[in-house]
Chain A
């Protein structure tokens, strides 16, 4: 499958990149290209211009200090997956990166690209021939959603691996734009609007992920049929932090693959926090969490199955995180 034609530029600075991105309506950013190029080959994204970020060397770093952890947006997933420092102190991040696609995807794919990847849907991630069987769907510029034909909303699903792990850790992001830099909780990057899943404004570029110091325990579990290549059917990240009196201070449960953005199950977190944790409460936490997610028929797996697995995964994770 050939790529559609486009212009190509390599900005020298982030500022320049932001400016180009803002000034050209048809421009898109390219990082590792493992998500973007597939969508372009499928003709669901047809940019006029490609702004390649990889030439910006300053965005590729992992540093950690007292104030927390910083990862540049262009850091590759492989660097994250194999960083000894991350493995030792922020293992959940390394672990999530290890779960993305396979080796080559990790060596090409970047953190920024992973967080900003397009939502997915079985009616969207298909070739023009495949989609040609019916009029275009909402996300591909048409008028109908084939997942929920009666609604006028796009239900495409967020399937990234990194976002849940980072959100569970309370990550913030730095965004560079025409008006300078701004920070945002990573969670707020996601609009949960399938048609436009990211809260980036015109010309904005994700620059850095910042994770505040985290003394608690974290865990990432991904469910898929084969142990490689596949996106999560459903995945989840857990984070729990206790105070000196062994009271839960922070409890986070974040899912991927079950909504139009990463889904934090805040009500379930409350039940968890209220503790104490035993068979019964674990069951309750899971029951509640499963109510907070909204899987749709956007992949080859049924929503009912995703829900079932989300519950099972969460119970497993809760057991594991305490053992």
Chain B
């Protein structure tokens, strides 16, 4: 059955007429056209679909869109503020932490959630924070390096 869902995504309110059994991932990608959030497994095992809800990392493939109405949802498209890239976005690009880029949106967002909580983490803590976000290209080395480089700046 279709319902009107009220979603606040990247600071904007949206009303979406859609199926109630859709995941947030599906609504973001299919109804809102926000395809920056990726689907790597659709079963909660790869982290590519990570978004932030009230600042906390959520796997959007295991989140019902209907259940996060009226909450602040942040996707990769909303991370840059007024055209200014987030330091993580810059660091990922500059440090070579992006290869194919499919894991990147989820990786950057989980890193943001984590750094917001732990502004100066150890390397081990960074690894643990991103461990649910799989990357087949980079071997994670430059991802961890990029995240750590941002902590020094903060």
Touching in the complex, A and B, CB below 8 A?
Answer: yes
Q: How many A-B residue pairs have CB under 8 A?
A: 89
**A5 contacts chain B at the CB level, 8 A cutoff:** yes
Let me know if A104 and B58 touch, CB within 8 A.
Answer: yes
Question: Which one of A41, A52, A54, A229 lies within 8 Å of B132 (CB-CB)?
Answer: A229
- Give the Cβ gap from A185 to chain B, nearest Cβ, in Å: 31
Let me know if B64 and A50 touch, CB within 8 A.
Answer: yes
**B138 contacts chain A at the CB level, 8 A cutoff:** no
Measured between beta carbons, the chain B residues less than 8 angstroms from A50 are 64
Could you tell me the distance between the alpha carbons of A212 and B50 in the complex, rounded to whole angstroms? 37
- Tell me whether A105 and B21 are in contact in the complex, defined as CB-CB below 8 angstroms, given that A8-B64, A37-B62, A54-B67 are known contacts: no
**A139 contacts chain B at the CB level, 8 A cutoff:** no
Measured between beta carbons, the chain A residues less than 8 angstroms from B44 are 34, 37-38, 101, 105
- Give the Cβ gap from A25 to chain B, nearest Cβ, in Å: 19
Could you tell me the distance between the alpha carbons of A227 and B114 in the complex, rounded to whole angstroms? 18
Let me know if A102 and B47 touch, CB within 8 A.
Answer: yes
Let me know if B67 and A105 touch, CB within 8 A.
Answer: no
- Give the Cβ gap from A236 to chain B, nearest Cβ, in Å: 22
**A56 contacts chain B at the CB level, 8 A cutoff:** no
Measured between beta carbons, the chain B residues less than 8 angstroms from A82 are 117
Query: What is the size, in residues, of chain A's interface with B at 8 Å between Cβ atoms?
Result: 30
The residue of chain A having its C-beta at the shortest distance from the C-beta of B22 within the complex is A3
**A30 contacts chain B at the CB level, 8 A cutoff:** yes
- Tell me whether A103 and B128 are in contact in the complex, defined as CB-CB below 8 angstroms, given that A3-B22, A41-B43 are known contacts: yes
* Other contacts beyond A34-B62, A104-B47, A104-B132: 8, CB < 8 A: A1-B43, A7-B20, A8-B20, A8-B66, A38-B62, A102-B131, A105-B59, A227-B131
Contacts A/B (CB < 8 Å), 30 sampled: A2-B21, A3-B21, A3-B22, A3-B23, A3-B64, A4-B21, A6-B20, A6-B21, A8-B20, A8-B67, A33-B64, A37-B44, A37-B63, A37-B64, A38-B44, A78-B56, A82-B117, A103-B113, A103-B129, A103-B131, A104-B47, A105-B44, A105-B132, A107-B56, A107-B113, A108-B62, A227-B131, A228-B132, A229-B45, A229-B131
Nearest 6 pairs between A and B by C-beta? A102-B132, A228-B131, A104-B57, A107-B56, A37-B62, A3-B21
